[in-house]
A = this chain, B = another copy of it.
Amino acid sequence: MLSKSSKYGIRGVLYLALNSNENRKFSPTTIAKYIGVPAPFLAKTLQLLTKNHLVSSSKGRHGGFYLSDKNKQNSLIAIVDCIDGLDKFESCIIGLPVCSNENPCPMHDRLAPLRRAMVEELTNKSIEEFTNDLRSGKTHIFL
């Protein structure tokens, strides 16, 4: 459904949303240990997200990755879009070159709305909002 890169990215971002701020930064190694993903691969992903201003970082001693308050206002769809792109949510399920209501494939009418609903769920809730349920223990991101 999502690439591993996106999965790791989301988990990393949620970890940072929970634990980081401007004066509490984390190395990819530390994050990777907590969320159980390959550290150098996560590092690459966080670098990409940082380049696109979805994650913040500072170099040098006491540097690390963190989420600014602004970063926490983004939605998870921005993370997925940055890493995987939204193509898989917008293009035809069975690979026809155009996906449209006017010229639908046999599955379009049934599946396209569900696909759209998924995107909406990832869009209309900020990263910060996701942390509430995480803090209360209703949801989790650990192994």
Contacts and interface: CB of A to CB of B under 8 A. Distances in A.
Contacts of A4: 95
Copies, count: 2
Given A106-B130, A106-B133, 8 more contacts: A1-B89, A14-B106, A94-B141, A97-B143, A103-B140, A110-B121, A111-B122, A114-B118
B95 A139 contact: no
B88 A1 contact: yes
A141 B106 CA distance: 7
Interface string A120-131: 011000000010
Contact of A93 (B2, B93, B105): B2
Nearest to A8: B95
Interface in A77-111: 88-89, 93-97, 103-111
Contact of A111 (B121, B133, B142, B143): B121
A122 B107 contact: yes
A25 interface: no
A95 B11 contact: yes
B141 A7 contact: no
Contacts of A121: 107, 110-111, 114
